[in-house]
């Protein structure tokens, strides 16, 4: 079932969903099941599975030259989605990136998903790899998420890259895209960011999932700006409970997300990470309850492979 259909069928009730990471190469699928099992009591209608593009490392050869090596640390997105749908009977939503894919790679990826009965995807540009200062699109790939959305929509119309194909079958993907309540790190302003977000919707995306935020006012302001610009699709907030003191520096640096002063000072004064974890849970519970009271259709939690704190939040909210 499509995400938009899940929302419509909920009749105003706020749904619970979450996102997982594929395990590191060498681990098995049980690690995924172990992180999902504790959260199934909250009846998630769908679970997102991230996609991690290849990274580059360099090895020095005896000649002194450097050899570039492609490393994929977290493979398995498609297999995990299939396993989730088979084991739990809920919709699995794979992330699809521009980075690391040619348009042909993307088309083949989508064909595999369609064969597996997967009806939803999240279309993302993706971040720069560690060896890049700025994002570089793949040669013959999509440069922007809006272009990726267009390619998916074309496939939904039965339009493939090869014009010579006859009697093509159309796919039927529901497309989600990312939104940034505090703007994307590379965007010059929030208004310009929303301008391009509107383009993704115009191209055919059906819903928005936001970057994490820790101040609900920023989310509500973002939604109001989107509505003012004519964006009417569901906007799903992304939430993440803090769990370590290091995240006070890591999250603002890596994601360009602000943390409220009150939350910062509570964590600064915490005696250890156990105390930080509890602060993060309580803060996220308060965020969640306010969002539910506001009639937000879905709360989407970034679990990062750990479910204990998400479960503690779910028990208080759902």
Question: What are the residues whose beta carbons fall under 8 Å from the beta carbon of 194, sequence distance 6 or more?
Answer: 222, 225, 226, 229, 231
Question: What are the residues whose beta carbons fall under 8 Å from the beta carbon of 224, sequence distance 6 or more?
Answer: none
Residue 259 pLDDT > 80: yes
Distance in angstroms (rounded) separating the CA atoms of residues 247 and 279: 13
Matching residue, tokens 């010059």: 188
Query: Which helix (H) or strand (E) covers residue 309, if one does?
Result: helix 308-317
Q: Binning pLDDT at 50, 70 and 90, where does residue 104 land?
A: very high
Q: Are 119 and 1 in contact (CB under 8 A)?
A: yes
Q: What is the pLDDT of residues 41-96, one digit of tens each?
A: 999 999 999 986 655 455 556 665 655 455 566 778 999 999 999 999 999 999 99
Of 20-34, 37-51, 204-218, minimum mean pLDDT range: 20-34
Q: Are 100 and 53 in contact (CB under 8 A)?
A: yes
Of 58-67, 296-305, 306-315, minimum mean pLDDT range: 58-67
Q: At residue 122, what are phi and psi to the nearest 5 degrees?
A: -110, 120
Q: Binning pLDDT at 50, 70 and 90, where does residue 158 land?
A: very high
pLDDT at 67: 55
Q: Binning pLDDT at 50, 70 and 90, where does residue 128 land?
A: low
pLDDT at 164: 86
Q: At residue 19, what are phi and psi to the nearest 5 degrees?
A: -125, 140
Q: What is the pLDDT of residues 11-22, one digit of tens each?
A: 999 999 999 999
Average pLDDT over every residue of 97-104:
90
Of the two residues 140 and 216, the one the predictor is more confident about is: 216
Of 143-157, 196-210, 246-260, minimum mean pLDDT range: 246-260
Report the first-to-last Cα separation within the chain, whole angstroms.
22
Q: At what angle do helices 273-293 and 261-269 cross, to 10 degrees?
A: 150
Q: At what angle do helices 216-228 and 190-203 cross, to 10 degrees?
A: 60
Q: Binning pLDDT at 50, 70 and 90, where does residue 133 land?
A: low
Average pLDDT over every residue of 125-140:
67
Matching residue, tokens 């992304």: 238
Q: Report helix, strand or coil for 242.
A: coil
Distance in angstroms (rounded) separating the CA atoms of residues 204 and 26: 37
| Residue ranges of domains in the chain, CATH in brackets | 3-317 (3.20.20.220)
pLDDT at 166: 87
Query: By C-alpha distance, which of 183, 106, 100 is closest to 136?
Result: 100
């Amino acid at each position: 079932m499509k995400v938009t259909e899940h929302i419509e069928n909920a009749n105003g009730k706020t749904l619970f969903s979450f996102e997982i990471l594929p395990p590191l190469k060498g681990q098995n699928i049980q690690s995924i099941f172990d992180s999902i099992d504790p959260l199934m009591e909250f009846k998630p209608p769908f679970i997102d599975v991230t996609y991690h593009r290849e990274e580059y490392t360099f090895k020095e050869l005896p000649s002194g030259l450097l050899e570039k090596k492609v490393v994929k640390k977290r493979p398995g997105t498609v297999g995990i989605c299939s396993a989730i749908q088979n084991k739990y009977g809920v919709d699995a939503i794979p992330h699809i990136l521009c980075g690391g894919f040619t348009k042909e790679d993307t088309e083949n990826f989508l064909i595999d998903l369609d064969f597996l009965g997967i009806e939803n995807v999240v279309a993302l540009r993706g971040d720069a790899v560690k060896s890049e200062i700025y994002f570089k699109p793949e040669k013959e790939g999509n440069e922007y998420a809006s272009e990726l959305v267009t390619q998916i929509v074309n496939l939904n119309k039965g339009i493939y890259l090869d014009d010579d194909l006859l009697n093509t079958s159309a796919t039927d993907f529901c497309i989600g895209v990312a939104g940034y309540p505090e703007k994307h790190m590379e965007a010059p302003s929030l208004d310009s960011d929303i301008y391009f977000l509107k383009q993704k919707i115009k191209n055919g995306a059906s819903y928005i999932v936001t970057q994490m935020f820790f101040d609900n006012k920023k989310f509500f302001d973002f939604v109001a700006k989107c509505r003012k610009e004519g964006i009417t699709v569901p906007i799903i907030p992304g939430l993440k409970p803090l769990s370590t003191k290091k995240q006070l520096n890591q999250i603002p640096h890596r994601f360009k997300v602000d943390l409220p002063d009150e939350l910062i000072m509570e964590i600064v004064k915490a005696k250890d990470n156990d105390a930080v974890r509890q602060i993060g849970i309580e803060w996220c519970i308060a965020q969640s309850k306010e969002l539910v009271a506001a009639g937000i259709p879905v709360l989407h939690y970034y679990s990062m492979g750990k479910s204990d704190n998400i479960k503690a939040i779910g028990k208080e909210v759902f």
